[in-house]
Amino acid sequence: MRAAGTDATDLFNQYHAWVNYDSMLKSCLVGRFTGDLSKLPQPGPSTSDQPQSVSAQLNALIVKGKQKQETYGVDIIKDATSVTLKCQYWTTDNLRLENVAVDWSSSKQHFRIVVRPMGNPAIEVKWGGISTESTVNGYRVLVKDGQVVITFDAEDLDVSAVLSSANHSIRQSPLLAYHECIIEEKRAVSHDTRLFTLRLPEGVFFPVGVGRHVSFKVKKGGDLIEISEPIGSTDLLTWTDPETELLMLAAGTGLTPMINMLNVRLRGLSDQGSSTCNTRLLMFNKTEQDIVDDNWMPMRWNDTRVKTEHILSEPSANWTGKTGRISADMLPSGNNSLRVLICGPDGFVQSAAK
């Protein structure tokens, strides 16, 4: 029991962030209490002369600590046009734009800011019960010097006044939020693979950084797709430097998380005015038909800035490239500076890791 007697939200989300909580709650009493702890009655006197168990003492301490509004070190500065969040634990090293999600929803009558700094628990600052007449034309999000600044485009709206009259809460390690999206475009990139372009609801902002992923919910045909806010806590910033040696091993749709990394590294090459290739991609598929089109990617398959090799396990007789399943002899010789990214089916990942 790694988390016995403690708040295990972070640990649970680390391994089960994609879990459908609604389904879970149908059969189990699982989840965070969302009411006002200060309104709960105090426990009655003990009916036993026996001392309280350790777990009971820990539970009493947790409840007592949460009856007061926790700030978790977060300071909030509001004026007529902006909101600024800062915290002693947020720095330029662990907080970037990709670590911030913002949601201003007139229909839900709330304003949420979720900050997920590297190496620290996520913090959600939320104002609920906002008037439906409080609408904004848009906002800009800036992360600088460990602070989050949100500036609103609203001529007739005093942001400070609106938020001061709303219900305010600060929560550590919030549950993963989902947003209903509209499919703007769908196109085939291979015989069995489709590329979807989704539009987030108005007022929702969250970039998906390198090393992050999202979870989807599709309940039944005709429903809107629900997409989660970014998941993941691994910092791959140093991996995006195009001067570092990087080997990517991808099988099938395992190419997906590599695209963001390729995009950032190629942009870095362009900014440096360099054409040096330190990126190698080994792409594993069954047949030629499984190789996706490259017209949606930040590069073409024959781009010299990335050394790409296609390896097929069930090729046609006309295939002249490499064949087989992943094995040690397909991989370049390792060195201390080489970094490796692996994504694909479980069996592929396990074989590649060996």
Contacts of 278 (CB under 8 A, 6+ apart): 242, 243, 244, 245, 246
Would you say residue 20 has pLDDT above 90? no
- Residue 208 tokens, joined: 């998906």
- Our measurement of the distance from residue 143's CA atom to the centroid of its chain's CA atoms, rounded to an integer in Å, reads 17
Mean pLDDT, all residues of the chain: 85
Each residue's pLDDT tens digit, 144-180 = 999 999 999 877 789 999 999 999 999 999 999 999 9
Q: CA 348, CA 255: separation in Å to the nearest integer?
A: 13
Q: Residue 30: what pLDDT?
A: 55
- How many C-beta neighbours within 10 Å does residue 52 have? 12
Which pTM value belongs to this model? 0.77
Tokens of 31: 């989840």
- Segment 192-218 mean pLDDT: 92
Beta bridge partners of 151: 82, 140
Summarised one tens digit per residue, pLDDT across range 226-237 is 999 999 888 888
Q: How crowded is the C-beta side of 161, counted as CA atoms within 13 Å?
A: 6
- DSSP class of residue 224 equals P
Question: For position 224, what pLDDT does the model report?
Answer: 80
Q: What pLDDT is recorded for position 156?
A: 77
Structure confidence at residue 354 (pLDDT): 82
- What pLDDT is attached to residue 151? 96
**Rounded CA separation 287/305 (Å):** 25
HSE of 108, CA atoms in CB hemisphere, 13 A: 15
How far apart, in whole angstroms, are the C-alpha atoms of residue 350 and residue 207?
A: 30
Q: What is the pLDDT of residues 25-72, one digit of tens each?
A: 555 655 555 555 555 555 555 555 555 555 555 555 555 545 456 899
Per-residue pLDDT of 79-125, as tens digits, reads 999 999 999 999 999 999 999 999 999 888 999 999 999 989 999 99
Domains and CATH numbers, the chain: 74-172 (2.60.40), 178-228 (no CATH), 237-353 (3.40.50.80)
Confidence of residue 218 (pLDDT cuts 50, 70, 90): confident
Contact between residue 332 and residue 280 where contact means Cβ atoms under 8 Å apart: yes
Helix (H) or strand (E) holding 59: helix 54-66
Percent of the chain with pLDDT over 90: 61
Tell me if 311 sits within 8 A of 323, measured CB to CB.
yes
DSSP E strand boundaries for the chain: 74-78, 82-87, 100-105, 110-115, 123-128, 139-144, 147-152, 167-172, 178-190, 193-199, 204-205, 216-217, 225-228, 246-251, 279-285, 306-312, 322-323, 339-343
132 has pLDDT over 90: no
Per-residue pLDDT of 280-328, as tens digits, reads 999 999 999 999 999 999 999 999 999 999 999 999 999 999 999 999 9
Report whether 256 belongs to an annotated binding site. Answer: yes
DSSP state, 297? S
Q: Which residue has the higher pLDDT, 3 or 279?
A: 279
Q: Which residue has the tokens 């330190």?
A: 278
Q: What CA–CA distance (Å, rounded) separates 149 from 186? A: 35
How far CA 124 is from CA of 33, 169, 176, in Å, comes to 15, 8, 11
Taking CB atoms within 8 Å and a gap of at least 24, the contacts of 63-66 are 63/37, 66/37
Strands 306-312 and 322-323 turn out to be parallel
Nearest CA among 227, 242, 234 for reference residue 212: 234
